[in-house]
Amino acid sequence: MSLLLQTPRARLARLGRRLTGSTASPLDGRTVLVTGASSGIGEATAYACARRGAHLVLVARRADELERVRARIVADGGTASAHVVDLTDGEAVDALVADVLAAHGAVDYLVNNAGRSIRRSLELSYDRVHDFERTMAVNFLGPVRLTMGLLPAMRAQRFGHVLNVVTWGNQVKAPKFAAYIASKSALDVFGRILGREAWFDNVTCTNMRLALVATDMIGPTEAYAGLPAETPEHCAERVVRALEDRPITVNGVLGSATELLNLAAPRLSDRIFAELARRVPDSAAARGETGRTRTER
């Protein structure tokens, strides 16, 4: 279950579609750029947007997988273009922006989905500042550079929406996820400020704070074994609804409840999470025993 904090414009738009009986999606005929589109949430989101008539601009690092997604969209009657880009490469991001703007004039919807996850305690990270640098590069600096490149055209056409795939960890402040949650929290704050500065240009932003989704990203984390996780396909349908309705934030019930506990009883919350952290140790991957320490989507 999710809680959508909608802008008045979003509520009016949905109400208008219901009153007129319109079955057309606001995505129909629009250009939607999705990062991390070669698998997981990004792949499922690309298919869901294509079914609603959007033209997809697919961005990811893996050329073969990206082409597979593009080919499937085209085979199903949709339109899509693929761009192999590493978001940590600033020059590559700038080139992507130039190519996309030349081809489409503007991107109507941007889904900042590509991300890097890592679960490792601070105790094991004293000599691993690069964990924070690399995670920030993928989860914050890359999306910000891409957004800033596309934002002027959105504002000039007086329409645009940015959806940041972030995490419920922004509310929970879960131990052992300092690098990951800090980077996603930075993107969350950036998105809120973007929405305020671009308000009068009809450019909005949604921060979608997801819980567990069954993708390769959660694979190395033994603590997740057996826990319920949302499918990428179900998550993608929620992403599409957020693109259509343009809420400010999409929260989960558990994340919101934990956020209230953190605010109402911070010391008690610290004690609870300290005990949980002690009972659920670092994974073998985090200890460097498997050679697999993180995943990206």
Residues with Cβ within 8 Å of residue 61, at least 6 apart in sequence: 38, 84, 85, 86
Q: Are strands 160-167 and 109-112 parallel, antiparallel or unpaired?
A: parallel
Strands 2-6 and 247-252: antiparallel
Q: Single out the residue of 295, 159, 268 nearest to residue 260, CA to CA.
A: 268
Backbone torsion region of residue 36, taken as left when φ is above 0, otherwise alpha when ψ lies between -120 and 50, otherwise beta: left
> Among 208, 184, 209, 205, which Cα is nearest to 194's?
205
Q: Tell me if residue 180 is catalytic.
A: yes
**By three-state DSSP, how is residue 158 classified?**
coil
Closest Cα to residue 92, out of 137, 37, 47?
137
Local structure of 87: helix, strand or coil: coil
Orientation angle between helical segments 8-20 and 232-245, nearest 10 degrees: 100
> Which one of 47, 109, 126, 180 is the catalytic residue?
180
Residue 201 DSSP code: G
Name residue, tokens 């995490």: 167
Provide CB contacts within 8 A for 131, sequence distance 6+. Answer: 118, 120, 125, 179
Q: Which residues are catalytic?
A: 180
